[in-house]
């Protein structure tokens, strides 16, 4: 069996069952942005995101308590910020260009949040700006315990509006909102396809297809232009709103009309079909993990993998070393 033919998701589920772990994997509501600019511009964007995020808490009927933040400098040293009044100092440090990663954390309670005894958490993360790159990733993650579906659906609408505001004020290369199993660094589509350069190529390729998607000029050009994409989106039952930024080509905000926590495969397929010509040209190779809201590639066999194989090893993998541990092939070795 070739690696791309193996159904790694089914294998992962069966492995979990064998080890006594059952039930659906926890999903988070996530907003991911790919932006371009210098450190000072990212500091201004960070200030805007903090304002939009905390306004969203209030509008959604939740109470958020800031728990602190950390920054990681280019020399890999970390510096904590534990007091809310140090936020301006943190943003000022970001503007110096010495920082390539930062993390903020809030505890969220109130209307619509899971249980008062078990508050949820929302984090804001910044990554990028390393090795001379001027492309950064901002990500807001509402943790798996943060709120009911109704709360998350309301929050998603507020975040979609925030995505539009960011597109009006910053060089936003791509943005997406999704409710899925969360990975710290990459959106689900890139995780599924093993795409490593998605952030650096976001000015040309959307980083997947999700409930809400900001398409910038470079992607829209690959899709036939903003007017053609908006027309096709409307024909597919999707909402499409131009995002205007002074002195720059317009972007387009494409959103599914269903709630984010009830996103159907049909609506997801409509978004995929809309942006497919501009997606990163990386063929599916292998994903062995929890189910993601990603559509399987047409024409791929996805044959079942025996659940008792701890580490699958396929015909097109490198040869297994004699002391290779617990891995074994899916088919007998040739004589």
Confidence at residue 93, expressed as pLDDT on a 0 to 100 scale: 84
What does DSSP assign to residue 233?
H
Q: Best-predicted range by mean pLDDT among 36-40, 94-98, 180-184?
A: 36-40
Predicted confidence (pLDDT) at residue 334 exceeds the cutoff of 60: no
Confidence at residue 97, expressed as pLDDT on a 0 to 100 scale: 86
How large is the average pLDDT for residues 200-219?
97
Q: What percent of the chain lies above the pLDDT cut of 70? A: 91
Query: Edge-to-edge strand order for the sheet containing 212-215?
Result: 78-81, 62-73, 99-110, 120-128, 135-142, 28-36, 172-180, 212-215, 251-255, 239-243
Confidence at residue 84, expressed as pLDDT on a 0 to 100 scale: 55
Which of 116, 7, 108, 111 is CA-nearest to residue 54? 108
Instruction: Tell me how far apart the alpha carbons of residues 79 and 71 are, in angstroms, rounded to a whole number.
Output: 5
Confidence at residue 156, expressed as pLDDT on a 0 to 100 scale: 95
Confidence at residue 144, expressed as pLDDT on a 0 to 100 scale: 77
Confidence at residue 245, expressed as pLDDT on a 0 to 100 scale: 95
Q: Kindly indicate the confidence band of residue 298, based on its pLDDT and cuts at 50, 70 and 90.
A: confident
Which of 36, 292, 43, 33 is CA-nearest to residue 139? 33
Confidence at residue 81, expressed as pLDDT on a 0 to 100 scale: 77
Q: Kindly indicate the confidence band of residue 34, based on its pLDDT and cuts at 50, 70 and 90.
A: very high
Helices 265-275 and 226-235: crossing angle in degrees, nearest 10, is 160
Which of 67, 138, 133 is CA-nearest to residue 101? 138
CA angle 36, 42, 43 (to 5 degrees): 170
Which of 34, 44, 156 is CA-nearest to residue 92? 44
Q: What is the pLDDT of residues 98-143, one digit of tens each?
A: 888 888 888 887 655 544 445 678 888 988 866 678 999 999 998 8
Instruction: Tell me how far apart the alpha carbons of residues 40 and 37 are, in angstroms, rounded to a whole number.
Output: 8
Predicted confidence (pLDDT) at residue 330 exceeds the cutoff of 50: yes
Q: How far is CA 56 from CA 117, 140, 156, 289, in A?
A: 22, 12, 10, 32
Q: What is the pLDDT of residues 305-316, one digit of tens each?
A: 988 888 888 988
Instruction: Tell me how far apart the alpha carbons of residues 228 and 207 are, in angstroms, rounded to a whole number.
Output: 20
Q: What is the pLDDT of residues 220-230, one digit of tens each?
A: 999 999 999 99
């Amino acid at each position: 069996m070739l690696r791309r033919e193996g159904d790694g998701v089914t294998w992962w589920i069966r492995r979990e069952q064998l080890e006594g772990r059952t039930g659906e994997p926890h999903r988070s509501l996530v907003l991911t942005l790919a932006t371009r600019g210098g450190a000072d511009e990212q500091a201004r964007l960070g200030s805007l995101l903090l304002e939009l995020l905390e306004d969203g808490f209030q509008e959604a009927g939740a109470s958020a308590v800031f728990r602190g933040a950390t920054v990681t400098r280019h020399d890999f040293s970390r510096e904590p910020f534990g007091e809310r009044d140090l936020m301006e100092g943190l943003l000022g440090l970001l503007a110096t260009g010495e920082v390539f990663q930062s993390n903020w954390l809030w505890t969220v309670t109130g209307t619509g949040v899971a249980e008062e005894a078990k508050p949820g958490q929302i984090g804001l993360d910044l990554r990028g700006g390393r090795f001379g790159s001027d492309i950064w990733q901002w990500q807001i993650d509402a943790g798996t315990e943060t709120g009911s579906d109704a709360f998350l659906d309301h929050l998603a609408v507020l975040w979609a509006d925030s995505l539009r505001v960011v597109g009006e004020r910053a060089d936003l290369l791509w943005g997406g909102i999704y409710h899925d199993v969360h990975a710290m660094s990459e959106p689900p589509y890139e995780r599924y396809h093993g795409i490593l350069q998605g952030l650096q190529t976001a000015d040309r390729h959307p980083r997947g297809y999700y409930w809400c998607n900001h398409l910038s000029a470079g992607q829209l050009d690959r899709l036939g232009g903003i007017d053609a994409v908006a027309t096709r989106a409307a024909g597919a039952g999707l909402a499409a709103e131009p995002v205007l930024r002074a002195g720059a080509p317009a972007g387009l905000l494409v959103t599914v009309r269903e709630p984010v926590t009830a996103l159907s495969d049909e609506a997801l397929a409509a978004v995929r079909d809309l942006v497919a010509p501009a997606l990163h040209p990386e063929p599916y190779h292998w994903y062995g993990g929890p189910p993601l809201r990603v559509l399987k590639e047409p024409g791929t066999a996805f044959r079942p993998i025996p659940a008792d194989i701890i580490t699958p090893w396929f015909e097109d993998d490198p040869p297994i070393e004699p002391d290779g541990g617990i891995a074994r092939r899916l088919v007998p070795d040739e004589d």
